[in-house]
Amino acid sequence: MPGQIPLIGERFPEIDVVTTKGKLKLPDYFKGKWFILFSHPGDFTPVCTTEFYSFSKRIDEFRKLGVELIGLSVDSNVSHIEWVRWIKEKLGIEVPFPIIADPTGSVAAKLGMIHAESATATVRAVFIVDPNGIVRAILYYPLELGRNIDEILRMVRGLQTIDRSGLVLPANWPNNELIGSKGLVRPPATVGDADEYLKRYKGYAWWFLYSDIPQ
């Protein structure tokens, strides 16, 4: 039976896992760092292989943001090891992050990664977790559609910018059609604040104001 998906704002569940890099305890293994846990339906499948190639190729961009990656599927550790060896030999890139082996499906079930679309394979889930072990964003893709790595990187940059600036971010940030790369001011809580914000910020209304993002 599917488990309960951890909610945004909740602490990532404590789980002991077996991976291609050894036994790990989550989220403690990544304490003090952002990490992204992403599941895939199965090793030696075409869409998943393109995703692992893309994640591996972009690993430096993730690490510049202080982000580590960890994969997961219901395949065995032996299957994972053979698959990453195949990727390195045939596609010329090394998978630099651990992959969780979950042949019983217990980890996937605990994270709500097995859906009606398949009773056994994990869907393409993405959990973005902050340095405090708090789930900050969740994405789900169907089995047939590979993930957009640029969007996952954008989400991390956006979340880190929100934390740093106290602003919130518009659609298509940092290329929003109305305010470009600026951030949106959180709506004021009182009438007095609304009047003050109108003096301090530019915008379209007292509840729709924007500001440069501090560097």
pLDDT digits (tens, 9 = 90+) for 48-66: 999 999 999 999 999 999 9
**Domains detected in the chain:** 15-147 (3.40.30.10), 166-211 (3.30.1020.10)
**Cβ pair 142, 9 in contact under 8 A:** no
- What pTM does this model have? 0.93
**Cβ pair 136, 130 in contact under 8 A:** yes
Query: What pLDDT score does 120 carry?
Result: 61
Q: Look at the block and give the residue holding tokens 């090793």.
A: 43
Instruction: Tell me: pLDDT of 127 over 70.
Output: yes
Residue 33 tokens read as: 């760092």
Q: What is the DSSP string of 145-166?
A: S---HHHHHHHHHHHHHHHHHS
Residue 51 tokens read as: 């995703």
Most distant pair of Cα atoms in the chain: their distance: 65
Catalytic residues: 48
Instruction: Tell me: pLDDT of 4 over 90.
Output: no
pLDDT digits (tens, 9 = 90+) for 74-124: 899 999 999 999 999 999 999 999 999 999 888 988 888 876 555 566 788
Q: Which of 83, 97, 20 is nearest to 49 (CA)?
A: 83
Residue 159 tokens read as: 């979340």
Instruction: Tell me: pLDDT of 201 over 90.
Output: yes
